[in-house]
Chains A and B, each alone.
Chain A
Amino acid sequence: MTIPSNPADTTPQPGFSTWLRFALMWLLLCGLAYPAVTTLLAGSLFPAQANGSLITRNGQVVGSALVGQTFSGAGDFIGRPSAAGGGYDPVNASGSNLAPSNPDLRKRVRDLSAKIAAREGIPASQIPADLLTASGSGLDPHISPAGAGVQVARVAQARNLSEDKVRELITAATERGPLGLGGVGVNVLKLNLALNAAAPGTGR
């Protein structure tokens, strides 16, 4: 591999005006041209994804398939605790940033663990860890299949549906990556919307 033999640098290279033109060139090419071409093409190829994977019901946007929402109804599946603003606020997306050694985390988990144990009628030792922990974004749309499993009995009763029917809807709302990549999650918003469709007016 040879380097072309350039003439030695006897004359000085141009200075300030070159720096300025070089900087401006990249601001235009990388800052304006690249994102414009990429964004417009991606938007026309994948219009639904490009606009936030929105879910509409009766012409009304009710959320995004990628962003969780807060639920508390007896007939609803309840997601993970969220540290994003007042809960699942994408503008204030955030994790708790509490360390395992932090007493505040221990307190939060203890309170929530007791609440879930009472709500679902199970001992604390059976509560899946994801229901007690806040996600990194505070927007996690998923709970684990086990986390959905412990809520089936309560939801089925409140909705006046069979447990099998509820499990069926859980399976339909379960999302997983190909080739065993990542984790398996039940999309809480999609699941509750499906429940609302299957048994209207029983969410609360």
Chain B
Amino acid sequence: MDIFLTYLLAFGLAVPLGFLIARLYAAPASHFTAGLLRVCGVDASRGMGWRQYGAALIGTNVLLGLAAYLIYVLQGALPLNPDGIANMRWDTALHTAASFITNTNQQHYSGQSGLSYFSQLVAIVTLQFVTPAVGMAALFAVLRGLKGQTNVGNYYLDVTRAVGILVPSAFVLALLLTSQGVPSTYGGAKVARLVEAQTVEGKAVTTQTIPVGPVAAMVAIKQLGTNGGGWYGPNSSVPLENPTPLSNLFSMVSIIVFPISLVFASGLFLNRRRFGGAILAVMSVTSAALTFGAVMAERQPNAALLGLAAPGGNMEGKEIRLGTDATALWASLTTQTSNGSVAGMHDSFNPLGGLVPQLGMFLNDVYGGIGVGMINMLVFVVLTVFIAGLMVGRTPELFGRKIEVREIKLASLIILLQPLLVLGFTAAAVSLPGVTANSNPGFHGLSQVLYEYNSAYANNGSGFEGLGDNTPWWNVTCAIVLILARFLPILGPLAIAGLLAGKKAAPETSGTLRVDTPIFAGMLLSVMLLLQLLNFAPTLVLGPVAEQLTLQTTTPTTGVQK
């Protein structure tokens, strides 16, 4: 039921939203928007070339990242800190700033004890609005280039348009979430007198501290903006962040609604609805397969309980009110998009259940982060056009413009960056003694390390959280991966689109390779899957697959042990 309703509602909302977005990005700036931009010294009626667009993108992002870093390291002295949270350590702050400026929201701290309200709001929520907006802006700049416009749009205007859609959406979602029990207050933590006093490590504990805060406002945009992370360390598994099955449904729909709507919007904006449909079909087939895999895996019992409990799904790291199906669905959706917030602990998933999130992040374009998911898919489209063109002996071209050496070089570099960074750093981390700080031994330990870099590269942010990741090693290496993996795959396609736009368009004839047919969609799917399998299958065999195989040989699969 959760699965059916989530996809149904998401598609139902994504269609009108897609129309709205496509229309918004084709219309001139409203008076209000133009007025806002004038304050910043921007003339909204003027466009930019792709180089200018890229420069503005980098410039504003660097400044926002710097501001966020300063807020984290100074938060102890800043206002809105009722719980007296201390300043953040430099390396954690570096990682956090890199993580949030890249729409990743990988957390090496626990929000309820590591960040002040001021940090959560000004330095986290702002980035949670601006970074998906930057992704959306970049997508439309790329699309304009593909349409043949050397003027790819006005960066500031494009970002403002996106924020203008995200703010009201988040506002509505925040109210819905609060109605279900997500805290919304500027007051400090609540203290309850425990019904039964406890003794912890020899000390009497009679109270329970319940951290609250302006949680709903933050959680709403973390879901809608493919941001992820959470107010609380274990994200949406915490009942204060995700109190009911209904809040869980709202959250899951929010995770995928913008990524799906942007595929619709792209088709409309390009005036190629069939192309948009083909892309959406490729994504949806993959999405359904991943979800099916995760749900089926988590319905199996946890091997550690074999013979010690009644049969039932894997409940380690899962919440009763959500159940295994909804938690597995969440895991599948949050890693397909670049959301990365979790509703259960992926570290404790069955090995094949934990494989699904890794696959989703390797692909990183089903449905992908806001804007960037579609951009990643377009890179695969360029590559597929090239390969298909070679196979049938035609000049590879996309939308009437020839794809030549420079474009293919850029696309290949972007695709190769992923295995280089993810596998390179994984290898380095496991070969340096003592840096990994795993909570689990053996094959699963390797999966934990791989997951962390995979998540950083995919700008996802979820984790196999048993990793002791708040160390200078993890903070610095992840920050490097985060920043390269965010900005190169945006700037590269922007350059490809800008270069294509500068070429003369050839009329489409019967000899043109069509990109909106089922055959092309199948080809695209195969290229995408084969390439990523070639890249990552060996590590996956060493990690989750090996873990699954050892489980089945070392624990009895039938009979009950006493």
B159 to chain A, nearest CB (A): 8
Tell me the B22-56 residues at the A interface (CB within 8 Å). 22-23, 26, 28, 36, 39-42, 45-49, 52, 56
CB within 8 Å for A22 and B551 given contacts A95-B347, A142-B321, A203-B196: no
* Complex CA–CA separation, A73 to B444 (angstroms): 37
A152 to chain B, nearest CB (A): 16
Is A67's CB within 8 Å of the partner chain B? yes
Q: Which residues of A contact B342 (CB under 8 A)?
A: 136
CB within 8 Å for A94 and B190 given contacts A43-B184, A175-B321: no
* Complex CA–CA separation, A31 to B443 (angstroms): 42
A31 touches B122 (CB 8 A): yes
Is A153's CB within 8 Å of the partner chain B? no
Tell me the A71-122 residues at the B interface (CB within 8 Å). 71-73, 76, 80, 85-103, 105-106, 109-110, 113
B309 touches A109 (CB 8 A): yes
Is B326's CB within 8 Å of the partner chain A? yes
* Complex CA–CA separation, A167 to B191 (angstroms): 31
* Complex CA–CA separation, A180 to B322 (angstroms): 11
* Complex CA–CA separation, A177 to B465 (angstroms): 28
**CB < 8 Å: which of A52, A89, A94, A136 contacts B344?**
A136
Q: Which residues of B contact A61 (CB under 8 A)?
A: 190-193
How many inter-chain residue pairs (CB < 8 Å) link A and B? 434
* Complex CA–CA separation, A66 to B56 (angstroms): 45
* Complex CA–CA separation, A32 to B181 (angstroms): 22
B144 touches A34 (CB 8 A): no
B536 to chain A, nearest CB (A): 20
B208 touches A136 (CB 8 A): no
**CB < 8 Å: which of B112, B193, B318, B354 contacts A60?**
B193
B125 touches A136 (CB 8 A): no
A70 to chain B, nearest CB (A): 5
A95 to chain B, nearest CB (A): 4
Q: Which residue of A lies closest to B323 (CB)?
A: A183
A53 touches B60 (CB 8 A): no
Give the total of A residues in contact with B, Cβ under 8 Å: 121
* Complex CA–CA separation, A191 to B130 (angstroms): 45
A127 touches B237 (CB 8 A): no
Is B455's CB within 8 Å of the partner chain A? no
Is A156's CB within 8 Å of the partner chain B? no
* Complex CA–CA separation, A138 to B348 (angstroms): 13
A15 to chain B, nearest CB (A): 7
B324 to chain A, nearest CB (A): 8
Is B391's CB within 8 Å of the partner chain A? no
B5 touches A41 (CB 8 A): no
* Complex CA–CA separation, A92 to B211 (angstroms): 10
Residue of A21, A89, A129, A185 with highest tally of chain B CB at under 10 A: A129
Q: Which residues of A contact B472 (CB under 8 A)?
A: none
* Complex CA–CA separation, A63 to B196 (angstroms): 11
Q: Which residue of B lies closest to A65 (CB)?
A: B181
A67 touches B239 (CB 8 A): yes
A146 touches B46 (CB 8 A): no
Q: Which residues of B contact A69 (CB under 8 A)?
A: 194-196, 208
Tell me the B325-366 residues at the A interface (CB within 8 Å). 326-327, 342-345, 347-348, 350-351, 354
* Complex CA–CA separation, A203 to B350 (angstroms): 38
* Complex CA–CA separation, A19 to B62 (angstroms): 9
A100 touches B195 (CB 8 A): no
CB within 8 Å for A135 and B113 given contacts A6-B45, A100-B348: no
Q: Which residues of B contact A179 (CB under 8 A)?
A: 1, 5
B164 to chain A, nearest CB (A): 10
**CB < 8 Å: which of B52, B307, B316 contacts A9?**
B52
**CB < 8 Å: which of B175, B189, B304, B344 contacts A109?**
B304
Tell me the A132-167 residues at the B interface (CB within 8 Å). 132-144, 146
A189 touches B195 (CB 8 A): yes
A86 touches B198 (CB 8 A): yes
Q: Which residues of B contact A125 (CB under 8 A)?
A: 307, 309-310, 560
Tell me the A44-72 residues at the B interface (CB within 8 Å). 45-46, 49-55, 60-67, 69-72
Is B532's CB within 8 Å of the partner chain A? no
Binds A, one of B213-221, B412-420, B506-514: B213-221
* Complex CA–CA separation, A91 to B465 (angstroms): 16
* Complex CA–CA separation, A34 to B126 (angstroms): 9
A181 touches B67 (CB 8 A): no
Contact with A along B58-71 (1 / 0, CB 8 A): 01101110010000
Q: Which residues of B contact A53 (CB under 8 A)?
A: 181, 243
CB within 8 Å for A39 and B217 given contacts A127-B308, A203-B196: yes
Sample of 30 A–B contacts (CB below 8 Å)? A1-B22, A1-B23, A3-B149, A12-B52, A14-B42, A16-B59, A19-B56, A21-B40, A21-B41, A23-B60, A26-B129, A43-B184, A45-B179, A46-B178, A46-B179, A49-B181, A51-B187, A52-B183, A54-B210, A62-B194, A86-B205, A96-B345, A100-B348, A125-B307, A127-B309, A135-B320, A136-B234, A137-B238, A177-B245, A181-B5
Known contacts A38-B170, A64-B240, A109-B308; 14 additional CB pairs below 8 A are: A26-B129, A30-B163, A32-B121, A38-B174, A52-B240, A64-B192, A66-B239, A80-B320, A93-B238, A131-B309, A133-B318, A136-B345, A175-B244, A179-B5
B residues in contact (CB < 8 Å) with A: 1-2, 5, 22-23, 26, 28, 36, 39-42, 45-49, 52, 56, 59-60, 62-64, 67, 110, 112-113, 121-123, 125-126, 128-130, 144, 147, 149-151, 154, 156, 159, 163, 167, 170-171, 174-175, 178-187, 189-196, 198, 200-201, 205, 208-212, 214, 216-218, 220, 232-234, 237-240, 243-246, 248-249, 268-269, 271, 301-305, 307-323, 326-327, 342-345, 347-348, 350-351, 354, 439-444, 464-466, 547, 550-551, 560, 562
